Amino acid sequence: MRVLVTGGNGQLGHDVANRLAARGMEYKSVDIADFDLTDEGQVMEAVREYQPDAIIHCAAFTAVDRAEEEQALCRAVNAGGTAHIRKAAEAVGAKLMYISTDYVFPGTGTQFYKPDDPASPCNFYGQSKWEGEQALSGYPKLFIVRISWVFGKNGGNFVKTMLRLAETREEVSVVDDQIGSPTYTFDLARLLCDMIVTEKYGVYHATNEGICSWADFAEAIFAGAGCKTRVKRIASAEYPAKAARPMNSRLDKEKLTENGFERLPDWQDALKRYLKEIL
């Protein structure tokens, strides 16, 4: 199987490419320097040239606050670019895996969102990713995998931000009323590679097991890194941001079990392994 990975320089795409290599699978990793997702011609040419059997589409506009100000670009990448990937995948008959987000949901309540629950994004980034999902509607060989709170070795993330702040601060304010599940890209990449070799198509949710608040996550980071920095727990209202954030990012992952996929380890275990990798 030949696999094309978009967003290969990002946190997830980097780990997906490494996992494919470790499995001895033939793959090509591409990023913005290779083609512009918003240019249909470039996308078609790149895909036709490589002739992949599967495309794992990790590339996206992910700057959540910037998305509110750069809506046209965000939509062009996340919705238009995904439509271009679909057209190219159709041209070569490839399986297609689209990486989506918990932000497609309204983020209210305390329930675990199921894959078929109604979407109602709370910000423009979530809206653009939902439009990307819609652009793929009806594709016969499609996986949609929604993820949340991602951290990995390649690129910036919440863990690295907390560690950087801990170098100069005795106390860091972190919201404690947004609840979700961290997702380690190393663990997620294994699952995505497990999935792409099957034909168990559909919409899935995938995060590390367990839930926490951002404040809980920050405390675990400081404890795991041996930092003495304290966490001041605050409400989201005390931390103004351009884009609204979901208060509830709980995702139901039972569909993974139902289809025979091994779920990801607990987030605390993932964090421990990650800190060992980067410290």
125 is catalytic: yes
Q: Judge whether 85 and 125 are in contact, CB under 8 Å.
A: no
Which residues, including other chains, have CB under 8 Å from residue 137's CB and lie 6 or more apart? none
Choosing from 50, 125, 184, 274, the catalytic residue is 125
Alpha-carbon span 224 to 115, nearest angstrom: 33
Alpha-carbon span 162 to 159, nearest angstrom: 5
Looking at the chain, how many residues does it have?
A: 279
Give exposure, 120-133, as e/b (b: 16+ Cβ within 10 Å).
Answer: ebbbbbbbbbbbbb
Which residues, including other chains, have CB under 8 Å from residue 226's CB and lie 6 or more apart? none
The residues that are catalytic are: 125
